[in-house]
Amino acid sequence: MQLFYTAGACSLAPHIVLQEINQDFNLVNVSFKNHQTEQGQDFLKINPKGQVPFLISDDGLHLSEGAIISQYLAEVAKRSDLLPTFGDLKRYKVLEWMNYISSELHKLYAPFFQKGFDDTSKNIFKEKLLKQYTWVDEQIHDSENLLGQGFSIAEIYLFVVTRWATFINLDLSHLKSLQAFMEQMQQHPSVQKAMQAEGLL
């Protein structure tokens, strides 16, 4: 398998999943500056969306969209702890979280990583993020086991996007359950391996 990634970007989530399932894979770094891979290939010819993560599986599947790449990897590895199997109602709770993280958290960071948004606009996104994270904090507080699922693809994805709060100066330090979650996740061996491989530790 090949995973196209950029250090610390949302591609870190499927990267952690790959580490967790002990799958052989190659990491291919992509620069956002020129859309070139580390081998000098034009990334837009590989993934015309121009975005990481992008996966090429051993059987030739070309897959974009991080939430779906993580689902695919969990299912190929038959890891029902990462994503409960069809028929288990918990599956839909993990998928509900995946959709929420993708649409209500991940994408609200976009204005901070592209030019053209002034501070007033950015503050609207920050306020919205804070509101969403306050709700997430309550969910973690009320559940026995992080999000209630353990170390699933949803916890992994939440960890990866929430790391970005620091880079946009969004103070989440008062959200104690969320902070405990982040610290616990950071210590997980697969998270450590992936972060080390991306030069983040």
Ligand X SMILES: N[C@@H](CCC(=O)N[C@@H](CS)C(=O)NCC(=O)O)C(=O)O
Of 3-32, binders to ligand X (CB under 6 A) are: 9-10, 32
Whole-number Å distance between alpha carbons of 17 and 60: 19
Q: Which backbone phi and psi does 139 adopt, to 5 degrees?
A: -65, -40
Minimum distance from CB of 166 to ligand X (Å)?
15
Residue 108 and residue 132 in contact, taking contact as beta carbons nearer than 8 Å: yes
Whole-number Å distance between alpha carbons of 100 and 109: 14
The site that binds ligand X (CB under 6 A) totals a number of residues, namely: 11
Single out the residue of 65, 64, 71, 129 nearest to residue 95, CA to CA.
Answer: 71
Q: Whose Cβ is closer to ligand X: residue 6's or residue 80's? A: 6
Stretch that binds ligand X, among 19-27, 62-70, 170-178, 189-197 (CB under 6 A): 62-70
Residue 69 and residue 11 in contact, taking contact as beta carbons nearer than 8 Å: no
Q: Whose Cβ is closer to ligand X: residue 66's or residue 84's? A: 66
Of 89-128, binders to ligand X (CB under 6 A) are: 102
Stretch that binds ligand X, among 63-71, 87-95, 134-142, 147-155 (CB under 6 A): 63-71
Q: Give the footprint of ligand X on this chain (CB under 6 A).
A: 9-10, 32, 50-53, 65-67, 102
